[in-house]
Each structure stands twice: as structure tokens, then as C-alpha cells.
Amino acid sequence: MMPGLKAGFELNARLEADSEPLMWLGLCELRIMNDSRWPWLILVPQRPGIEEVHDLTPLDQAMLTFECNTVAQALKKSTDCTKINTGALGNIVRQLHVHVIARSEGDAGWPGPVWGYGMREPYKRSDLHGFCEKIRSALQ
Amino acid sequence: MMPGLKAGFELNARLEADSEPLMWLGLCELRIMNDSRWPWLILVPQRPGIEEVHDLTPLDQAMLTFECNTVAQALKKSTDCTKINTGALGNIVRQLHVHVIARSEGDAGWPGPVWGYGMREPYKRSDLHGFCEKIRSALQ
């Protein structure tokens, strides 16, 4: 198996299409939403068949909290945003995934939520790579 | 001090106006959003001056995870909803608070997020009390 690959786990096709892989954490696959309107990361716990956080084992719940908060801190530090928004909705994509988004006053849709707001605006490849590098180095 | 009251903690005025107290958990004040469109609970960690989950101590982060997941499970069980939505946004009210909302196919705004959707529709007092009792007994 590839490093970081967990038995039986397959990434939802829509998550795969809308976001790009960044790195594997202990529990989660960390991905970048391919939407240049906001710095937006997604954590997907690599467990098959899980829809709700409370369906994870207690240890996985603790791991998810740790990983989300580490990522949130790195995102806040590297973007100097006003506020981190986190959410686990899953009304459309049922596979459990947690959004961690850097919000700043005056950004698209501020102060409303990002979900369902307008159309996704994909990054230019060079901007996407730059953002990936920024997050990777903030996480080290 | 009153039971459950934590030193230096004061509930944000807007949270107080929009929601009703339900009970105190170990860390959080559990409140019900006074909006009858969705079964909607709010957990407010009783710590002064905290805006982001990652600003809590590691122990408080673990407590918050535990309390959110306990509440989510109780809400799912008592409403038989399609999906739990959780989120910590705080773009308007900066005091850290976590939303736990029961969503069902075809509810107001489905499958979009609840935040920023239309106008709040307060409960009739008897319905609010009924909902409170349902949640209290699901948490026991």
C-alpha cells in the first residue's frame, strides 16, 4: 500500500474532483479546495463508511480534533485571516469531511458562510502550488 | 457562584438574545437557538476571551469534542434527522461557539447551510419547552 493509505478507504468522487491533495496526516487526508476565493482546506478521516464525527471511535475523534486544530492554526498563521471557519456539513457529500477556511473581512460572501455561495473559482496552477507550499511549511 | 458558572466568563449579548439556555455541561453552556426552522443547539465553552477552538487548552479542546459529539448524538437520536451539521464560524459573534444542527431532506434551505438563510422564526413557548425536554432526556 502507498504510505498514508488506509484499508478500505476511498475518497468520495466529488471531493476528489473539487479539491487537490496536499498531504497525509495521521488520520486524515488533507486537501485544498480548488477555489481561489478563500484559503480553504478539507480534512477527510481515512475511515470507510463514516458520515458523522460521533461515528468515529473516541480515539479517532481525538485525533480529528488534534489534526483540525493544528491545520486551523497553520492556516491562520500563514494567511493572517480575521477568523477561522470550521464545519462538517455533509448534506451533499456524505463521506465525513471537515472544512477549515480562512475568512477575512470583505472576502467573498463575508460575513456569511462559504458553502453554497456563488460558483467555485479554480486556482491557476502556479497559485495552487504556491498555496500548497505555504501550508506545508506552516505545518512543519 | 451559581453551579456551572465559570470565573470571568460572560455570554455574548447576541448569543443570549437569539438562544435560550438548556443546561450546563462540564465545559460548555448548552443553548437552543430560538429558531423553529431547524433543531439547532449551540455549545459555548465557558472560557473568557476565546475566539478559536485552537486557542483553548488541549484539555478543553478534548472536552469540547466530547461534549459536541455527545450533543450531536443526542440530537440525531431524538430528531431522526438525515445529517448533523456542525460549525464554528464566528464571523459576526466572535465569542467561540459551536453550532450543532439537525438537518433533514427538504428542510428550510436544504442542502445549503443554515447560517444566513432567511429570517429566524422564534418558537412558540410550548414548542420550545417540548424541544428542551426532548434534548434533556436524550442526554441522560
Q: For A95-140, what is each residue's pLDDT tens digit?
A: 999 999 999 999 999 999 999 999 999 999 999 999 999 999 999 8
The pLDDT confidence band at residue B14, using thresholds 50, 70 and 90, is very high
CB contact, 8 Å: B86 with chain A?
yes
A54 with B72: CB under 8 angstroms?
yes
Q: Which residues of B touch A90 (CB under 8 A)?
A: 83, 85
Q: Which residues 52-71 of A are in CB contact (within 8 Å) with B?
A: 52-54, 61-62, 64-66, 68-70
Yes or no, beta carbons of A76 and B54 under 8 Å apart:
yes
The pLDDT confidence band at residue B3, using thresholds 50, 70 and 90, is low
B54 with A73: CB under 8 angstroms?
yes
Q: Is residue B19 part of a domain?
A: yes
What's the domain range around A83?
Answer: 13-139
Yes or no, beta carbons of B52 and A72 under 8 Å apart:
yes
Closest chain A residue by Cα to residue B104: A91
Yes or no, beta carbons of B61 and A65 under 8 Å apart:
yes
Residue B126: partners with Cβ closer than 8 Å, 6 or more residues away: none
Strands (E), B81-123: 83-88, 98-103
Q: Is residue B32 part of a domain?
A: yes
Least confident of A8-12, B6-10, B108-112: B6-10
B116 with A87: CB under 8 angstroms?
no
Q: Which residues of B touch A61 (CB under 8 A)?
A: 65-66, 69
Q: Is residue B112 part of a domain?
A: yes
Q: Is residue B117 part of a domain?
A: yes
What pLDDT shows up at residue A6?
76
Rounded distance, CA B86 to CA B108, Å? Answer: 16
Is the pLDDT assigned to residue A58 strictly greater than 60? Answer: yes
Comparing B39 with B2, which gets the higher pLDDT?
A: B39
Total number of domains in chain A: 1
Question: Which CATH number do you get for residue A61?
Answer: 3.30.428.10
CB contact, 8 Å: B85 with chain A?
yes
> Strand pairing partners for B33?
B19
The pLDDT confidence band at residue A50, using thresholds 50, 70 and 90, is very high
Is the pLDDT assigned to residue B2 strictly greater than 70? Answer: no
What pLDDT shows up at residue A5?
65
Q: Which residues of B touch A87 (CB under 8 A)?
A: 85-89, 113
pLDDT tens digits for range B41-91? 999 999 999 999 999 999 999 999 999 999 999 999 999 999 999 999 999
Yes or no, beta carbons of B113 and A111 under 8 Å apart:
no
Residue B1: partners with Cβ closer than 8 Å, 6 or more residues away: B7
Q: Is residue B54 part of a domain?
A: yes
CB contact, 8 Å: A111 with chain B?
yes
Q: Is residue B4 part of a domain?
A: no
Q: How far is CA A56 from CA A33, A59, B37, in A?
A: 23, 8, 28
The pLDDT confidence band at residue A2, using thresholds 50, 70 and 90, is low
